[in-house]
Chain A
Amino acid sequence: MEYSQNELMISAAARELRGARVAFVGVGLPNIVCNLGQRLHAPALELVYEAGVFGARPARLPLSIGDPTIVTGAASVMGMPDLFQYYLQRGLIDVGFLGAAQIDKFGNINTTVIGAYAKPKTRLPGSGGAAEIAVLCGKILVITRLNKRAFVPRVDFITSPGYLEGGAAREKLKARGRGPEAVITDLCVLRFAADTREMMVTSLHPNVTRAQVQANIGWQIRFADALETTEPPSAEELRLIREELDPQRLYSR
């Protein structure tokens, strides 16, 4: 069955939600991922939105992080002080999703500036809740397209810390969150070595070569010894994405 790169990213990311109870959802792909994960891999999954919603049941695909559809029918709607203090900081969230304008070999993420902070070449939106999601969610999943501009040896600005300089650097922070677990891209899935915490390719998508992956990463990337091939989306995954979660094909085309 034919499928798009986004559909492959969505289905691969949704499988990372197995066993998760509470997910901090972002807009766009993460939203479809969480809804797909809830239907197939984690039936008890509760969706939390930083805007102040726990247990959302969106009836349409939310088009912003605070779409009114995440309110109607939710289990609880609250002010942001409650959401950040009692849900995120208390430690109730298992999985958080982050996007990245830049990500480096240790999973540090930049969404603030390209260039120097005081005189940026490109000013990006900034942290939003990302700085705290990165240290307070149990684990982090990153969904982004693979390209050399984004995958850089060192980010210009750490908006959301990954494993910092690698090794045990993150453990010294004593943060609740364990850090980034997987980076799901359009060409491959990457994870982090247990000792060095350096990013490595653990799964290539069907028909993707090592050379293609390397050509889109700004440093010499490592490939896992037991390199896998990513399972393509199943017929049921594709049906759910196309017919129920993103019928207008805004994010999954």
Chain B
Amino acid sequence: MLADRRHFLLAVRCFAEMKVTTMRDAIRELVRDGDMVALEGFTQLICFAAGHEIIRQRKKDLTLCRLTPDLVYDQMIAAGVCRKLVFSYAGNPGVGSLQAFRRAVEKGEPRSLELEEYSHFGMVGRYIAGAARLPFYPVNSYLGGDLPRVNPRIRQIQSPYGDEKIYVVPPLNPDVAILHAQRADKNGNTQIWGLTGAQKEVAFASRRVIVVVEELVAESVIRADPNRTLIPGLIVDAVVVEPFGAHPSYAQGYYDRDNAFYVEWDTIARETAGLNAWLDEWVYGVNDRAEYVAKWGEKLNALKPGDAFAEPVNYGEYK
């Protein structure tokens, strides 16, 4: 059945216009129980819309990868969809701790959580090796620290060209990447600006790619500014249009981070009951992102920034 599904999806790829789909269908088709999922995006473009849909569909035993698990993984850990975390910084950025993550690690609630821990550079290196199909990636890091002691996958090798030893990390190849972006065309050619984190590397490293965008634009818009295309449609399986899909994180030029919510989360998540009530209201209690956005109402529009346009560049016409 799954193999049939895969063949079906491959066939779908041949008809590019059919990549555009709903979040519900994209998650149902492309995220399977037990998958390794990388829902990436460094502080901006974190696709909470996809995280919430994964929770609603009650996916099981996922291995979740992210440099910074952030609130989105705290919510997914609390909802019990996550078995293992591959990460480098599990804090509430600018606020403090991730309370659900801490409960899982310190008390095994709601279930125990396996950890595979790196530094940021180690995680970035893992994605680079995964994207380039390399057996490992060398980093001048980890010297003198305890991370290699608790994570045997961080290893030291002898340089083949000199006396020095260097730490290496293994490739990371998630089953599915879920990446939020400002815009894409119907073929999945995706443009991101502002902080691009490791979005490009994650996309190339992963077996399946779901792109979620603020705006679907004409192919001509993408082709008019090809330097900005980070992810080619070639490796994209599904395109989902979901305005405000990254809230409470942000999308450069579209909306600001909802800092008040990041601060509030510290209180919401402190007790299991409060956190579950929040999930009931804001995740299980809405059908999709559109309902979530409507429920926030005008508050979200208040996060829109003023304009700061770049000067257009001249690519030149060569005939």
Which residues of A are at the interface with B, using a C-beta cutoff of 8 A?
27-28, 50-53, 63-68, 71-73, 77-81, 84, 88-89, 112, 117-118, 120-132, 134-136, 157-161, 164, 170, 173-176
B146 contacts A66, C-beta separation under 8 Å: no
Known contacts A51-B195, A52-B195; decide if A81 and B117 are in contact (CB<8 Å).
no
Q: Say yes or no: is B143 at the interface (Cβ < 8 Å to chain A).
A: yes
User: Which of B94, B101, B118, B252 interacts with A63 by CB under 8 Å?
Assistant: B94
Q: Say yes or no: is B90 at the interface (Cβ < 8 Å to chain A).
A: yes
Which candidate, B3-11, B15-23, B196-204, B235-243, is the interface stretch facing chain A? B196-204
Q: Give Cα A129 to B120, complex, Å.
A: 5
B119 contacts A127, C-beta separation under 8 Å: yes
Determine the chain B residues whose CB is within 8 A of the CB of A112 once the complex forms. 117, 146-147
B139 contacts A129, C-beta separation under 8 Å: no
Q: Say yes or no: is B164 at the interface (Cβ < 8 Å to chain A).
A: yes
Q: Say yes or no: is B150 at the interface (Cβ < 8 Å to chain A).
A: yes
For B252, the closest partner residue in chain A by CB is A68
Q: Say yes or no: is B305 at the interface (Cβ < 8 Å to chain A).
A: yes
Known contacts A52-B42, A127-B88; decide if A68 and B256 are in contact (CB<8 Å).
yes
Question: Given A27-B93, A112-B147, 8 more contacts at CB 8 Å?
Answer: A51-B43, A51-B195, A65-B43, A66-B93, A68-B252, A78-B196, A112-B146, A132-B139
> Within the complex, what minimum Cβ distance (angstroms) separates B217 from chain A?
21
User: Which of B139, B143, B193, B195 interacts with A53 by CB under 8 Å?
Assistant: B195
A123 contacts B196, C-beta separation under 8 Å: no
A52 contacts B257, C-beta separation under 8 Å: no
A66 contacts B87, C-beta separation under 8 Å: no
Per-residue contact bits, chain B 190-226, to A (CB 8 Å; 1 contact, 0 not): 0001111111110000000000000000000000000
Known contacts A123-B101, A135-B144; decide if A79 and B89 are in contact (CB<8 Å).
no
Q: Give Cα A124 to B308, complex, Å.
A: 37
Residue of B67, B89, B97 with highest tally of chain A CB at under 10 A: B89
For A122, the closest partner residue in chain B by CB is B106
